[in-house]
Amino acid sequence: MADIRPDLNVDSDPRELTDAGDKLYFTAVGDGVGRELYVTDGTEAGTHIVKDINPTADTSSNPGSLVAVGGTVFFQANDGTNGAELWKSDGTAAGTAMVNDINTQFPGASSTPTWLTNVNGTLFFAANDGPTGRELYKSDGTPAGTVKVGDINPDPGGSNPSELAKVGNQLYFAANTFAAGFELYRSDGSTITALPEINPGTGNGNPELITDVGGTAFFRATDGTTGRELYKSDGSTATRVADLNPGGGEGLPVYLTAVGSTVYFGANDGTIGRELYKSDGSTITLVKDINGSGQSFPSELTNLNGTLYFAAFEGTNGTELWKSDGTEPGTSLVKDINSGSADSFPQDLRAIGGRLYFTADDATSGVERWVSDGTGAGTQIVADIAPGAADSVPAGISPPVGFDGAVYFAADQDPTGLELWKYSDTIPPTVTIDSGPATGSTITTGSPTFGFSSDDSPSTFQCRLYATGSTPPAFGACSGASSHTPPSALADGSYTFDVQGTDVGGNVGSASRSFTVAVPSNPPGDSAACKKARAGLEAANKKLKEAKAALKKAKKSKKKAKIKKAKAKAKKAKAKVKRAKAAVADAC
């Protein structure tokens, strides 16, 4: 997309690709400036250095640990004067500045911010101010708002916070004290809470790989007796889920990955070797013994739309791309990319725009970027950037990043070298109607509701509903973000419902259903006319009852005129009842 260093075969080596707002940030090596912060808007003309933070010729500021907070990117950099400190940028030179010189112990001293983590718009990180050592800090992007959250270990050595991770609305991390060793902590930004020790005494619990699974922290740790196993915390305590490898062994969970309320990971039970496991927090379950005669070494676990993707060694096909729905039958090879027993070694798995991007080697094209929709047919090379068996993707460079509907990554091609590339997705999303009348069905309501989804998230939808056989109208707004109900009841007849989904790349997919509406007529006695006739009969019977009572009273008086008048009224009332009964018969 852009050759930052146009000299023949000289690399700019883009790293740390980070999407912040409407810009993509990364670090690169430019001619005469060393490694500095760069930005792109997705065009070659819009790809440029943001600022030469360390202006000494050919000297790098070495920006690192890039993290987005809203439309601002925060990072560590060294301007050559203040040491390695916290910086921020809005993508302009004027808007790129040091946030705060945290370590002023001596000129050029560095606080070296690490573990930069965004928790609901607040930046947390570990830094060293000199006198109190490395502790937990937070920042709102202003000098005054960049402060130490707490001095966990009141000693110049500091508590060395690490493993910072957002879990729910809190920050979880590991920190060290002389009394307790490395244990689990959490913070809301105002206070720091030490959770009960995992390894009591001065031993280290060593919580690592902290992962948010539906607001619960899952991680690996050791109590000093069982080795490193899977633990969880609700913020009040930390408990071991299970001792997967009992005795002197350790399960050593790796690649902890949340899929809904389940955490998946690779682990070793000491019997079948390293395989794929899952846990809901109550127990640990083997998903599948993929390599029955050895170990499958599942790695690179990645959640794509509720399906787990990973690399595994099955024993026959080499290390290839796999997927799982959490069941043994639903755990299968996606594609044998490097056919036979050879390995394609899928790495850098990233879920972007409803697709899985990764690197692999098919033995023909070398190590290149690949894309998959979860099917064998839909798993294909993005492009053979370095033609033939040469590798365009050297080890250790940044994984791809989704931005503005495209996928960005670094790749090496002769003669430009290792530079920034852009891949525009041209694959239409698969749109599915998940609920509502099935095709060919007959429904008895004129107000059906359709629910739909796309495998390429986020997608926007448009709908149309029309009489089958008529000219389809233009697509219009659906009644809901992912559902549609007609604004008024449909009359009896045949109808077609179409929904169209558009992904961020502008690709369009659609789905359709045809059905029939046949609303039953109102049952006898339930029509408005029948109800009116019945009310008339009830009123006529009431009048007849009153007339009969009046006649009885008149007869007791023995007055002929009064009796005659009462008889006439009773006769008239009987006639009305007769007419009312006829009306009921007609209407009901």
Q: What are the residue ranges spanned by the domains of the chain?
A: 1-62+90-98+403-425, 431-517, 528-587
3-state secondary structure 232-244: EECCCCEEEEECC
Any residues with CB less than 8 A from the CB of 12 and at least 6 apart, and which? 3, 4, 5, 28, 29, 30, 417, 418, 419, 420
* Side-by-side strand order, sheet with 34-40: 15-20, 23-30, 34-40, 48-51
Dihedral angle over CA of 200, 206, 210, 215, nearest 10: 0
User: Which of the four pLDDT bands, split at 50, 70 and 90, describes residue 270?
Assistant: very high
C-beta separation of 315 from 291 below 8 A = yes
Residue 229, Cα to own-chain centre: how many angstroms?
27
User: What is the mean pLDDT of the segment spanning 4-25?
Assistant: 89
Specify the range with the lowest mean pLDDT, choosing from 228-237, 256-265, 273-282, 561-570. 561-570
User: What is the mean pLDDT of the segment spanning 230-251?
Assistant: 95
Residue 525 confidence (pLDDT) = 59
C-beta separation of 232 from 218 below 8 A = yes
In terms of C-beta density within 10 A (0-12 exposed, 13-18 middle, 19 or more buried), how is residue 23 classed? buried
- Class of CATH domain 431-517: mainly beta
CA atoms within 13 A on the CB side of 478: 19
Give the rounded percent of residues in the chain with a pLDDT score beyond 90: 80
pLDDT surpassing 80 at residue 224: yes
Q: Each residue of 291-345: pLDDT tens digit?
A: 999 999 999 999 999 999 999 999 999 999 999 999 999 999 999 999 999 999 9
Residue 300, Cα to own-chain centre: how many angstroms?
17
Determine the number of helices (DSSP H) and then strands (DSSP E) in the chain. Answer: 2, 43
pLDDT surpassing 80 at residue 160: yes
The alpha-carbon radius of gyration of the chain (Å, integer) is 36
User: What is the mean pLDDT of the segment spanning 528-543?
Assistant: 87
| Alpha carbon distance, N-terminus to C-terminus of the chain | 77
User: Which of the four pLDDT bands, split at 50, 70 and 90, describes residue 395?
Assistant: low
Alpha-carbon distance of 304 to 260, in angstroms, equals 11
pLDDT surpassing 60 at residue 522: no
Q: How many CB atoms lie within 10 A of CB 351?
A: 16
Residue 526 confidence (pLDDT) = 61
Alpha-carbon distance of 262 to 214, in angstroms, equals 8
3-state secondary structure 95-135: CCEEEECCCCCCCCCCCCCEEEEEECCEEEEEEECCCCCEE
pLDDT surpassing 80 at residue 443: yes
User: What is the mean pLDDT of the segment spanning 340-356?
Assistant: 93
Residue 398 confidence (pLDDT) = 75
Specify the range with the lowest mean pLDDT, choosing from 9-18, 73-82, 111-120. 9-18
Considering the chain, what is the average pLDDT of its residues? 94
Residue 248 confidence (pLDDT) = 80
User: What is the mean pLDDT of the segment spanning 341-370?
Assistant: 94
pLDDT surpassing 60 at residue 71: yes
User: Which of the four pLDDT bands, split at 50, 70 and 90, describes residue 432?
Assistant: very high
User: What is the mean pLDDT of the segment spanning 215-220?
Assistant: 98
pLDDT surpassing 90 at residue 2: no
User: What is the mean pLDDT of the segment spanning 103-123?
Assistant: 98
Q: Is 206 left (phi over 0), alpha (psi -120 to 50) or beta?
A: left
Specify the range with the lowest mean pLDDT, choosing from 92-106, 171-185, 528-542. 528-542
Measured CA distances, 523 to 261, 379, 519, 528, 587 (Å):
48, 57, 12, 11, 12
pLDDT surpassing 90 at residue 524: no
CA atoms within 13 A on the CB side of 138: 18
Residue 542 confidence (pLDDT) = 93
Q: Each residue of 41-53: pLDDT tens digit?
A: 999 999 999 999 9
User: What is the mean pLDDT of the segment spanning 503-512?
Assistant: 90
C-beta separation of 2 from 44 below 8 A = yes
Any residues with CB less than 8 A from the CB of 26 and at least 6 apart, and which? 14, 15, 16, 17, 18, 37, 38, 39, 40, 66, 398, 420
**Residue for token pair 């549609």:** 484
- Residue 279's nearest CA partner among 324, 329, 241, 305 is 241
